[in-house]
Every structure is written in structure tokens, then in C-alpha cells.
Structure 1
Amino acid sequence: MRISIKELQKGMIINADIFSKKGALLLYKGFKVENPELVSIVLKRNEISEIEIREEETSKGEIEIVESEDLKERIEHEVNLFKEEFSEVIESLKGEVLAFKESKDISSITDLEKGAEIAKEHENSVLTILQLVEEIKRENKDEYSNMLETSLISYSLGKWLGFNENELKEICEASLLSSILAYVGFDKELKIKEMLSGLENISEDVLEGALSSHERTDGSGYPKGLTKDDIHPYARVIGVAEVYQLLTTENELRKKLSAFEAVKLMEREYITKLDVKTLYVFLHRIGSKFIGSSVKLSDGNSGEIVFVPENEVSMPYIKLKDGKVINLQSDEHKDKIIIEIF
């Protein structure tokens, strides 16, 4: 049932995802309105005057419980399936990387496009690819997992940027190849093409994307010190994904940052190093991909992300376990940070 935002009432359930003109998810299907005044302000600001809500009365608790349990079971099934597929690719990839290290033959790596296959298969899952990757991060911390996670993140970013299916596949291939080259010790030096065989098995775009993923728009990257438009389009995507993956993965030098703390750091320190358009799209889309995720705050409280403002993606609205909704932008709560996403 469609209603005017002026008719919004506490307890109403949103029945369809609501997006801004820029494509950012404002409210997700199933969102329960706790603060109708705030929701109305956000929708009006985005020039949305009507929304779709569920027709059944919210007082029918039994219906809500059944839907909630069904959704919980579906999410659990999708997460387990994703983990199983992810693990299978990792086991296969380990052998292929070892073979490549010995032979230097790219044709020995047959799993380059697996990231695209997994991402495409799970595009319609309840959880987003970014949320599914977080599930993996809590269990796997080896370099092979990092490789495949970066490929999956690259796919998502490429999708947001409007690349077609073949380009998305090649971005995933370039991302995985970039990680493999770094892992086996190739420093992407200028003569690398002479050192490898089997290059006819990948496109020139995949190779160039992989070799230039560490270039930076200010010329501080390597191996050629390329700047801005001289960097391959695939590499611009992979570069953002690699930085995000590095920041959100724990290593011996520093602790893992949450997605929202990583966004804050990327806004502050990478604006001149990564492609501006690519980084802008990433920073303004990633927050909405975690709407519905459970989080732990630095003050010990836990809650659920219910809204991500476009003007400050790193400071979402959190619904605490007691039902109270807090705004991390507000003076009262701006000292709190998200330290973990579940």
C-alpha cells in the first residue's frame, strides 16, 4: 500500500527498498519506522513524497515472528553456502598459485574468474557481498582469503560504477592476478611480460589492470608512477578495493578497522591517491550495504544499523538493543565509533 510520507506512523514497515537519486539505499525493505518525523525529513530531502508500506497491521505479532524466523533461516543458509563456495575456491587456488610460482605460466591459474562467479551467484542474497565478506573475515585471515575477498569487493565496486558483465569478470581476474603476483614475489617490474608465459590466456586489459593496481593518481605508486587517467580503469577499481581490504583486515602491524572507520580514513588520507570518481562512488555506496548489520560500539553497546546519511557515511544511525536510535553525527554520540560489524 502506498502512502504519503505525511502519513507515516511509528511501527509501520517499509515494503520496498528506497533509493536516493544517486543510487544510495536510504531505507531497506522490512525497515520498521521508529521515528516517523526523522524518516519523513530524510525522504523529503531526497524528494520522495510517497512510499510503499505493508498492508497488514503491525500488531499482528505472530506474522512478524514467522517472517523474522524465515528470514533468519534464509540468511543462515545463504551465509553457509557462501562460506562453502569460498572455501572450495581457496583450496583450489592454493595449488594453482604454487604451480604458477614454479612455472610462471598464467595458464596454470584457472580460478581467476571465480570471484565474479561467486559474486554474481550471490547478488540476490539477503546479505550484500560486503556483508558476506565480513562473515569470511571473522574466520579466515590467510593471504589466500585476502586475495579472493579483494576480488569480490572489486566486483561490487565495478557494479556500482556501471561496468558490464564481461568487464566485471575481467576486473575480478585482474584483481586476483594482482594479488597473486604480489604473493609469489613478482614486483610488477617493467619486464614482467617477458618473465611470464601463457599470457594469451588473459586479455591485455586484465594484465594491465593487474600490473597497475598499485599506481596512485598523484604519481606515488608503482611500478611506473602513473597518474590519473594514465592508470587503467580496472586498476582504479582494484586500487580502492585493495586499500579497503587492507584497512579492514588485521595483520601483525595493526588491528583491523571496521568498514565505517576504514571509510573515514580513506576520506581523509586517500583522496589524492585514489581515483576521485571511483573513490567517491565507493564511499557513498558502501555504507548502505551494511544497513541491517549488527554492530558493536566503542562504548560497549551493540545495535543495528538502520540508516546511513549520504553526507556522512561513516556515522550511521544505530538502533540499540533497548530500541533507542542514536545518531553518531550528534554531539552526544560523536565520540562513539563502530569497532565491529557482525
Structure 2
Amino acid sequence: METIATLSLKEGMVIGKDVISKERVIVPANSKVDSVIIQKLNAFHVMTVSVMEPEDFASTYYAKLRVSKAFKAFEENYKTNLTAYKVAVDSFIYKKVPFRQNDLITIANNLVPEQMSGRLLFAYLYLLLPTEDNLTYAHGLNVALISTIFARWLSFNEEDTRNLILSGFLYDIGKFVIPYDIIWKSSKLNKMEFDLVKTHAFHGYHLLSKQNLNEHILNATLQHHERCDGSGYPQELKSDEIDPFAKIIAIADMYEAMTSSRTYREPMCPYTVISIFEAECFQKYDVKYVTTFIKHVAEELIGNRVRLSNGLEGEVVMNNQHNYSRPLVKCEDAIFDLSKQRDVKIVAVI
């Protein structure tokens, strides 16, 4: 809701609060402004009125956020900083200009100031829709931003936070030497294509090994597709052989890939992604890191409205500590404990 001068009123606007003069309502809230209302306000010498803004007409958290001034400002800021990141990447790949590490950290700080919560950042990223030619750049930027929040959740010191953010910016740099139409192919890759994609970890490591970078960053680039059970690539390493920063980036990479919009598909519901992590965390991901991640993501979702597989909508009121993808949801007067009602699940955050 916004307070504006009566002189700025335009027909079609909607009054946000009752307009009161001489202890009586002269124009009730939710009235659609027309010439008669404007004349009445002028006759009563009303100087300012409250009018509805786009978010006031939205009914859900994401709908309100999408049309909010705060998101519009973030979106513009994101575009500016994505361009800066893209210039840095292209200069490195095509002109061999070394990355200026402080510039990358500045980009992250511009988009994730200290006061920004994980809930707000993840919601903003969920709403963004990068253009097709920016998908690889946006993926790297988003993982760096997620890593900024992840470092807070892990209580990292300043140096480790810096190196984790830089890992997010640089770990996928090898994808820029793989044909774009293979990297972002919407259908399943054939074996030859997948084998080619898997080389991006080696390509990235080779490109960055010539730079003055922390060892964690180089290892995250080479090992972010390794899995604790040895099922990953390129070296089929097992848990104690994988750099901890690579383990963390692997989680941020997977979460970003599944919850971000693509030109060819909608983002996956965060609860679906959490359920995938829960099903695979003890085998593929480091339990300490993945548990911290899904715990905090789930905590950030408390209070959101969700749609259930049975068609009902409700509010997440409490998490189940042993099954974060199945919280307690209040639908009108009923409470659904999804950890017990296994035939019902969350299909969308709204």
C-alpha cells in the first residue's frame, strides 16, 4: 500500500484505506477511483490517500513477492551484476584475462548483503527466469550466492567464506568449452554427449590451475561431481578423498539446478528437492553438510503456503526433524503431519 498526493490520483486506482473527513468515511477502502471520487476528495480538501499496489492484489507469498518493489530492485541489481560476471568469464575464457577475485566477491556482496536472509534470497532466485543465452552464467552466479548463505549456516570464518564463494563462481568454468546445445539439451543426453559433458571438470581444473587460486577452489572445480559412495566422476573418489569445499558446492549445484527456472521447464518444488537429498544423503553426499543445508532450507520455508497432492492448500507450521520434506501443514482447521500421512505430499510452494 502506498500513500500518494490526491493530485496524483488516476482513474482505475484502488483506495487502500477508508478516507475519513469530519469523523465519517467519505470514500471506503477498496473503492475504484473515478472522476466522482476525485471530485469528492478535492471538495473535502483531502491532501493524501492510501492506494493499493500490485502486491496488495496478490494472494500468496510468491505472487506478492513477484510484483513487489523489492524484487523488482533485486532483479535489476541481479541483471547488472550478472553482466559483470559474464564479462569476467568471457574475458578469462576468450582473452586469457585472469579473474579479479575481489571483483567477484563484490558481486556476491552486492546481491547478498549481510542483512538478507536465506529465505529471501532463495525466494528471489526461485522467481528469476534467466534468458537462454545466460543460463550457464546465471547458474554459476546463483551457486555463488547460495554458497554465500551456506557459509553462514556453516559458521565459516572470513577466509573460508571467501574461498567458498569463489568456488561457486568458478567451479563450472569448464562448461564454457563444451558446446552450449549439449550442456543445456532439454532431452536426455546419449552416452557420447554425457561423456563429453563429464570432461568439463577436467577442463575447468586445467584452466584454473594456471591462476593464483586457493587449493579448495581448484579441488571444488575438479571434484564437484564426485560422490561419497564413489559413484561420481571424473575420478570416482570416495568420501574421505573429496575436498570438503567440493562436497559443499555439489549440494549447492544440485539445489540450484533443480529449483531454478529454465526456458524449457518450471522450477522444481523445494520440498521435492529436499526429499531427493534425504533419499540420497547417506550414500552420495556428506551427511554433515547436506543435513545442515536441508535443515536450514526447511526452516526458511516455515510459514509459507503450500499446495498438497490431495489438492488442499495450507501453511507450513512445523518441521519434522527426521523428515524435513514432510512437515506439519495446517489446512483450515486440520493439521496434516506428512511424516505420518505418507499418501500426501507437498507439490508446490505458493
TM superposition score normalised by structure 2: 0.65
Task: Give the match's secondary structure for 1:278.
Answer: helix
Provide the rounded CA distance (Å) in 1 between the counterparts of 2:249 and 2:224. Answer: 6
Change (3 A) 1:236 1:192: closer
Q: Check 1:215–1:130 CA distance in 2 against 1; reply closer, same or farther (3 A cut).
A: farther
Give the aligned residue type for 2:243: H
- Aligned AA (1:102): Y
Counterpart residue type for residue 201 of structure 2: K
Distance 1:146 1:340, change over 3 A: farther
The aligned counterpart of 1:147 is 140
Give yes or no for contact 1:297–1:337 (8 Å, CA) kept in 2. Answer: yes
Asked if 1:138 corresponds to 2:131, the answer is no
Deviation, structure 1 residue 118:
4.3
Task: Kindly report which structure 2 residues correspond to 1:192-231, keeping only aligned pairs within 5 A, or say none.
Answer: 192-193=205-206, 195-196=207-208, 199-200=211-212, 202-231=213-242
Stretches of 4+ moved more than 6 A in 1?
none
Kindly indicate whether residue 332 of structure 2 is the aligned counterpart of residue 328 of structure 1.
no
Does 2:154 align with 1:161? yes
Residue identity matched to 1:312: N
- For residues 301 and 219 of structure 1, the distance between their equivalents in structure 2, rounded to whole angstroms, comes to 41
Match of 2:98 in 1: 106
Q: Which residue pairs with 1:97 in the alignment?
A: 89
1:232 counterpart = 2:225: no
User: CA 1:149–1:295 in 2, change beyond 3 Å: closer, same or farther?
Assistant: farther
- Unaligned 5+ segments in structure 2 are 1-55, 179-198
Q: Secondary structure, in 3 states, of the residue corresponding to 1:135?
A: helix
8 Å CA contact 2:166–2:217 kept in 1: the answer is: yes
Matched residue count: 264
State the alpha-carbon separation in 2 of the partners of residues 106 and 153 from structure 1. Answer: 24
**Aligned residue identity for 2:348:** E
Task: Verify the 8 A CA contact 2:229 2:283 in the aligned structure 1.
Answer: yes
TM-fit CA distance, 1:327 = 2.6
Task: Verify the 8 A CA contact 2:174 2:204 in the aligned structure 1.
Answer: no
In structure 1, stretches of 5+ residues that fail to align are 1-68
Counterparts of 2:163 and 2:313 in 1: how far apart (Å)? 39
The one of the two structures with greater contact order (alpha-carbon pairs below 8 A, sep at least 6) is: 1
Deviation at 1:184, TM superposition (A): 3.8
> What is the deviation of 1:290?
1.1
- Indicate the RMSD between aligned Cα atoms, in angstroms: 3.2
Give the drift of 1:238: 0.5
Q: CA deviation at 1:283?
A: 2.5
TM-score if structure 1 supplies the norm length? 0.66
Matched, 1:277 2:288: yes
- Describe the shift of the 1:308–1:227 C-alpha distance in structure 2 as closer, same or farther (beyond 3 A): same
- Pairing 1:88–2:87 present: no
| In 2, Cα distance between equivalents of 1:80 and 1:167 | 31
Deviation (angstroms), 1:253? 8.4
Identity %: 27
Change (3 A) 1:197 1:315: closer
